[in-house]
Amino acid sequence: MPSIEQPNAGLSRSAEDELLDAFLNLSTPAGFRAELIEGEIVVTPPPDGNHEAAFAIISKQLYRMSRDEVHVSGAKGLITPRGRFIPDGTVGHEGLFDDQEPWMPAAGVLLVFEITSSRPSTDREAKRLGYAAAGIPLYLLVDRTDGALTLFSSPENGDYRDLNRVSFGKPLELPAPFAFTLDSALLG
């Protein structure tokens, strides 16, 4: 993309830098979230009640049943090679979120999960690729449109090498450091 000369700056800035600045200075209405996904600013409205119920069902199990103690954030901004994403759930060991800026690197994140809403194709494709490119070991997609859970694992070369998909109501094994069977019966 062409560089844009800034008055008095003496430096040229790329269109990507301009877009990032505009994004970081964006003001959204209360409850809305803005993400920068593959060069596009995406503003999402507040989630519906079923979305929040799914978040609670998954978060409770992660807290109660994980082999290791984990923390779950419902609004943590992550910097990935493909943009700035806010997963529905970001999971890490205790202390991961301490002293972090609003947008943090993905290093140390154990798992992210997305619950499909208004743009399920973004969760299925762009976010999957972004999380894999960031090296996040596990991506759990709660696809309400398809009625299925998909666990993507083993990020390699910008995508996940492995996936395990089950219909709502079926159990889904989560590997270490979680090491438990996620119950999806209440999701469907």
pLDDT at 5 over 50: no
The rounded distance, in Å, linking the Cα atoms of 141 and 146 is 11
Tell me the Ramachandran region of residue 39: left when phi exceeds 0, alpha when psi lies from -120 to 50, beta otherwise.
Answer: left
What digits encode the pLDDT tens for the residues 15-62?
A: 888 989 889 888 998 889 999 999 899 999 999 999 999 999 999 999
Contacts of 153 (CB under 8 A, 6+ apart): 137, 138, 139, 160, 161, 162, 163, 164, 175
What value does the mean pLDDT of the chain take? Answer: 91
Top-confidence residue, 68 or 118: 68
The rounded distance, in Å, linking the Cα atoms of 16 and 161 is 29
Predicted pLDDT at 16? 86
Structure confidence at residue 1 as a pLDDT band (50, 70, 90)? very low
* SS3 state of residue 123: helix
Predicted pLDDT at 163? 97
State both tokens at 88: 């529905």
Predicted pLDDT at 15? 85
The rounded distance, in Å, linking the Cα atoms of 150 and 164 is 6
CB 153 within 8 A of CB 162: yes
Predicted pLDDT at 2? 34
State both tokens at 171: 């159990």
pLDDT at 133 over 60: yes
CB 141 within 8 A of CB 150: yes
What digits encode the pLDDT tens for the residues 151-186?
A: 999 999 999 999 999 999 999 999 999 999 999 998
Top-confidence residue, 117 or 80: 80
Predicted pLDDT at 9? 44
User: 24-27 long-range CB contacts below 8 Å, 24 or more apart?
Assistant: 24/103
Structure confidence at residue 12 as a pLDDT band (50, 70, 90)? low
The share of the chain scoring above pLDDT 70, in percent, equals: 94
Predicted pLDDT at 118? 79
Q: Which residues of 109-141 are buried (b: 16+ CB within 10 A; e: fewer)?
A: bbbbbbbbbeebebbbebbbbbbbbbebbbbbb
- Taking the CB of residue 40, how many other CB atoms lie within 10 A of it? 12
pTM for this predicted structure: 0.89
Predicted pLDDT at 3? 33
Predicted pLDDT at 17? 86
